[in-house]
């Protein structure tokens, strides 16, 4: 028989690797998030007492699911007895069921069911993010709160309301049909990207928390890509890896931002770039190319170029054109304008940026004004550059971005006035 | 994590209940406490006598003043506390939402302040030997 220490180590490992799979299946079997969570913890507690005597089962996941479900039904029966409610007792008498009936595919589908339910479009986006982190990734409420820079009670209420909505609206626990898959998958991918971005661009909170959040997003996207190898999932995974490859190069030791053209490219994570680029190629080869695949292709060109000057800007503009067809947005148009400035001239880029700003949608978007300021600076229209940097600074909220804009303004003030 | 659950109750609700109803309510609470014990969540609890049998001390310029009971204007009084072991705040909420006691008055769930509790434990060790 294994020693208690061996069992403890094994259980810790299984908890880390498989507890969310156990949870996902228990949600389906018990039809309730809270009940499934308690049942899962009871199952792990039971493992702690039974495994040192009976040995570690060959297939721990079905054992844990079966034990959790058994414990939950036991508890429901006891509760029904003292509530003296025949309906509750009836509900607790579930049909007989054995673990052998659950095959690997069912377990995988349960994971997908959990992901699609937590990212359901009827839930507000902030709720989807909180539920994804807690229910799918297994973070505690307090960890989610610290990652999202919110208080634990605020996150707890978001999650309670999200679960209530799933119950009240009878959101089914299933993988969407082929017909609704693209839209539902898009909702999942945007949640994953929000989680990644929260970690990637957050300026407040400790660096460790932020890295953990990007790592969590990458891990979950990787899991999703294995469960559902859709080109868009693979494209998003590629995009995250390519962005994350620059993590060590994009800030200096004071946490100040370093623009891509000034980054030390030897600090870029080459294995991550290689993996991201290969995945991006794979995603781009799909018959219908989506926005994540296109963004990943653009990110590949940046990540594999030896310098800003030697970047294939013509190809980047072409990919932005495709992206504007696949998913038109003013921010994409702005990025395209910046690429045009690099391919042609800063004046050509400025012309495009001004046309976008005139339409008004990006009027309060600090990066639009920062882009305009940079182009004016390069043409030598320094007064206009100053005005645009000031406008960007008035709109920017994040520390490193503000410090970057302030630095640019100081540099401009140091140069002699032109106009 | 340890959470301290403060259970409030409206005395008029209990006043209007029959002896059987009271007993049934208590039985329900005890049975659920047992469920919490089975899951390793019930770390302890204390029931309080009714508010009018207590006093409130308040420091003022004239020294310590003693008044009857808690604030007179509140309708719900602290009736008992339960010390709960839960994974996080949402787990604590899920566990306490099923507690029959919540039907008789609100529960307040507060995380234990373990940094101060560590200091208290150190004093216990130092004095207790």
The whole-number pLDDT of residue A88 equals 56
The domain limits of chain B are 2-128
Number of structural domains in chain A: 2
Quick one: A141 and A59 in the same domain?
no
For residue A130, the enclosing domain spans 104-206
Q: Residue A55 has what DSSP assignment?
A: -
Write the pLDDT tens digit of every residue in A82-112.
766 666 555 555 555 555 567 788 888 999 9
Quick one: A113 and A196 in the same domain?
yes
- Residue ranges in A202-256 assigned as alpha helix (H): 207-227, 231-244
State whether A140 and B88 contact (CB < 8 Å).
Answer: yes
Which of helix, strand or coil describes residue A251?
strand
Concatenating the DSSP letter of every residue in B73-100 gives T-S-EEEEEEEEE-SSHHHHHHHHHT-G
- Which chain A residues touch B88 with a CB distance below 8 Å? 134, 140-143, 152
Q: Looking at the whole model, is its pTM more than 0.90? A: no
Residue A159 lies in a domain: yes
Residue B124 Cα, gap to closest chain A Cα (Å): 29
The last residue of one of the domains, among A44, A68, A102, is A102
Report how far residue A390's alpha carbon sits from residue A267's, in angstroms, rounded to the nearest whole number: 32
- Which chain A residues touch B98 with a CB distance below 8 Å? 79
Residue A354 lies in a domain: no
Write the pLDDT tens digit of every residue in A183-214.
899 999 999 998 898 888 765 556 666 788 89
Q: Does B110 touch chain A (CB under 8 A)?
A: no
Q: Does B93 touch chain A (CB under 8 A)?
A: yes
Concatenating the DSSP letter of every residue in chain B gives -EEEEEEEE-HHHHHTS-HHHHHHHHHHHHHHHHHHHHTT-EEEEEE---GGG-EEEEEETTEEEEEESS-TT-S-EEEEEEEEE-SSHHHHHHHHHT-GGGGSS-EEEEE--HHHHHHHHHHHHHHH-
The whole-number pLDDT of residue A99 equals 56
**Cα angle A54-A57-A58, degrees, rounded to a multiple of 5:** 145
**Cα angle B90-A26-B102, degrees, rounded to a multiple of 5:** 35
Quick one: A26 and A52 in the same domain?
yes
ipTM of the complex: 0.87
Name the pLDDT band for B69 (thresholds 50, 70, 90): confident
Residue A202 lies in a domain: yes
Quick one: A164 and A174 in the same domain?
yes
Residue A154 lies in a domain: yes
Q: Which CATH number does the domain B2-128 belong to among 1.20.1050.10, 1.20.210.10, 3.30.70.1060, 3.40.190.80?
A: 3.30.70.1060
Quick one: A114 and A91 in the same domain?
no
State whether B93 and A142 contact (CB < 8 Å).
Answer: no
Give the count of Cβ contacts less than 8 A between chain A and B.
51
B1, B38, B94: residue with CB nearest A37: B94
Write the pLDDT tens digit of every residue in A56-77.
999 999 999 999 999 998 888 8
The whole-number pLDDT of residue A419 equals 45
Write the pLDDT tens digit of every residue in A372-392.
999 999 999 999 999 999 999
User: Rounded to an integer, what is the distance from CA B46 to the centroid of its chain?
Assistant: 7
Residue B4 pairs in a beta bridge with B83, B110
Report how far residue A219's alpha carbon sits from residue A211's, in angstroms, rounded to the nearest whole number: 12
């Amino acid at each position: 028989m294994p020693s208690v220490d061996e069992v403890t180590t094994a259980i810790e490992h299984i908890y880390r690797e498989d507890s969310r799979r156990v949870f996902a299946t228990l949600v389906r079997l018990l039809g309730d998030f809270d009940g499934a969570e308690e049942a899962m913890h009871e199952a792990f507690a039971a493992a702690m007492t039974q495994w040192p005597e009976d040995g570690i089962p060959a297939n721990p996941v079905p054992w844990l699911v079966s034990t959790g479900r058994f414990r939950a039904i036991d508890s429901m029966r006891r509760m029904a007895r003292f509530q003296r409610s025949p309906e509750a007792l009836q509900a607790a008498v579930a049909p007989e069921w054995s673990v052998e009936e659950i095959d690997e595919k069912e377990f995988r589908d349960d994971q997908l069911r959990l992901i699609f339910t937590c990212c359901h479009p009827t839930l507000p986006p902030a709720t989807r993010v909180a539920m994804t982190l807690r229910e799918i990734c297994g973070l505690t409420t307090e960890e989610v709160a610290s990652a999202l820079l919110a208080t634990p009670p605020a996150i707890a209420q978001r999650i309670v309301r999200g679960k209530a909505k799933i119950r009240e609206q009878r959101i089914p626990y299933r993988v969407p049909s082929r017909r609704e898959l693209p839209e539902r998958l898009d909702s999942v991918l945007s949640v994953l990207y929000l989680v990644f971005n929260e970690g990637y661009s957050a300026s407040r909170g400790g660096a460790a928390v932020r890295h953990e959040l990007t790592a969590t997003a990458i891990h979950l996207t990787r899991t999703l890509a294995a469960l559902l190898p859709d080109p868009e999932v693979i494209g998003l995974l590629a995009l995250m890896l390519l962005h994350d490859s620059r993590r060590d190069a994009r800030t200096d030791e004071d946490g100040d931002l370093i623009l891509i053209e000034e980054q030390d490219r030897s600090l870029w994570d080459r294995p991550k770039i290689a993996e991201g680029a290969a995945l991006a190629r794979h995603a781009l080869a799909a018959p219908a190319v989506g926005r994540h695949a296109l963004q990943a292709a653009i990110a590949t060109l940046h990540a594999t170029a030896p310098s800003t000057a030697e970047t294939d800007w013509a190809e980047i503009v072409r990919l932005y054109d495709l992206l504007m067809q696949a998913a038109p947005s003013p921010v994409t148009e702005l990025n395209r304008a910046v690429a045009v400035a690099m391919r042609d001239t800063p004046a050509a880029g400025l012309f495009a940026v001004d046309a976008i700003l005139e339409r008004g949608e990006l009027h309060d978007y600090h990066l639009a004004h920062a882009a305009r300021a940079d182009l004016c600076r390069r043409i030598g229209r320094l007064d206009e550059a100053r005005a645009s940097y000031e406008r960007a600074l008035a709109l920017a909220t994040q520390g490193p971005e503000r410090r970057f804009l302030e630095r640019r303004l100081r540099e401009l003030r140091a140069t002699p006035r032109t106009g | 994590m340890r959470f301290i659950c403060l259970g409030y109750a409206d005395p008029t609700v209990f006043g209007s209940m029959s002896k059987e109803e009271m007993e049934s309510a208590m039985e329900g609470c005890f049975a659920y406490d047992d469920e919490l014990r089975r899951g390793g969540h019930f770390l302890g609890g204390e029931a309080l006598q009714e508010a009018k049998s207590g006093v409130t001390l308040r420091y003022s310029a004239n020294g310590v003043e003693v008044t009857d009971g808690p604030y007179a204007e509140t309708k719900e009084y602290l009736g008992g506390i339960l010390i709960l072991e839960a994974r996080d705040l949402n787990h604590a909420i899920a566990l306490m939402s099923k507690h029959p006691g919540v039907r008789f008055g609100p529960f307040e769930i507060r995380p234990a302040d373990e940094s101060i509790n560590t200091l208290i434990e150190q004093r216990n060790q130092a004095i207790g030997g």
